[in-house]
Structure 1
Amino acid sequence: MTKLIRRALAGAAAASAVLIAPLAAVPAADAATDGWAPLSAGHNVGIYDWTNSESNKRYGDLYYNEGSAVHATCWTRGETINNLGNVWYHIDAAIYFRDGLRHHEDVDGWVYGAYVDNNQTFHDGLAECTA
């Protein structure tokens, strides 16, 4: 289901890019602009100030077995952890569950893509961060 939603979003982004391209610079037509990425890699995920695990954690960890997800806005290169690549997602929101309640928080930070979803959001066409 998640892949289906991502493909639909990617298709919508591509269609929008074609219509808007004459008016403004946009990411490549086949790139998704952003999207929700459920924690599906079997790892808990820290939210950091920057793209390495030595930087400060901004929030508590997200737990993969609780149905957590992050809203990725773009990706960039950073620290490689356990030879799983150097892709980090910038996020602006997270969903997590505590005490049986679903929480949605606006956050600003970086998460390691391999620990979120094995870099699937990156491979699905998330735009590279430009600033």
Structure 2
Amino acid sequence: MRLKRLFTSGAVAMALAVSCAAATVGTAHADESTLTWEPLTTTHWVGLYSMPDASSAKVPWADLRPGGDAVQYDCWKAGAYIGSAGDVWYHTWRAFYRLTGYTAYVYPAWTFAPYVDGAADFHNHTIPQCNF
């Protein structure tokens, strides 16, 4: 009986530790107060990537359309260059699709800053550099 109780309490402790660790992974880099919504202000479609690199896998959401769609992000990071447009990427949490009115939780994703807003939030120091 004592061995069963020890095993059960150990399993509960392990489950609790795993769930606490999982809960902190999603919020380690930002909270709602640090997120910025930005409508797409360029003429480019914007993809949602798993890494700050256009050759990385895309997350399973449609590309965003210029002229109404928007993204929500918390920081920027230097990543892969796209042509001569630069190498700044936004760490993206949500995407808003204007035509459907749907907001998708896309974290973790990366969007190419020059295609989002011409990298204005980066150049104007509106958002911080990612610290991870």
Same fold, TM-score > 0.5, yes or no? yes
Instruction: Name the residue aligned to 1:8.
Output: none
Instruction: Name the residue aligned to 2:117.
Output: 117
SS at match of 1:36: strand
Report which structure shows greater RCO (CA 8 Å, sep ≥6). Answer: 1
Identical aligned residues as a percent: 35
Q: Which contiguous aligned blocks of 4+ residues in structure 1 show a shift greater than 3 angstroms?
A: none
Q: Provide the aligned C-alpha RMSD in A.
A: 1.5
Q: Give unmatched runs, 5+ long, in structure 1.
A: 1-32
Instruction: Name the residue aligned to 1:55.
Output: 56
Instruction: Name the residue aligned to 2:101.
Output: 102
SS at match of 2:101: strand
Cα separation, 2, equivalents of 1:36 and 1:122: 14
Instruction: Name the residue aligned to 2:78.
Output: 77
Offset of residue 124 of structure 1: 2.8
Cα separation, 2, equivalents of 1:114 and 1:48: 14
Q: Which has the larger radius of gyration?
A: 2
**What is the identity, as a one-letter code, of the residue corresponding to 2:114?**
A
Cα separation, 1, equivalents of 2:51 and 2:86: 16
Cα separation, 2, equivalents of 1:36 and 1:82: 26
SS at match of 2:75: strand
TM-score normalized with structure 1 length: 0.69
Offset of residue 37 of structure 1: 1.3
TM-score normalized with structure 2 length: 0.69
Cα separation, 1, equivalents of 2:111 and 2:40: 11
**What is the identity, as a one-letter code, of the residue corresponding to 1:111?**
T
Offset of residue 120 of structure 1: 0.7
Offset of residue 122 of structure 1: 1.1
How many residue pairs match? The answer is 97
Offset of residue 42 of structure 1: 0.8
**What is the identity, as a one-letter code, of the residue corresponding to 2:103?**
H
Cα deviation 1:57-107 (Å, max 9, x = unaligned): 102100113x00101111000111121111000011111123xx3111111
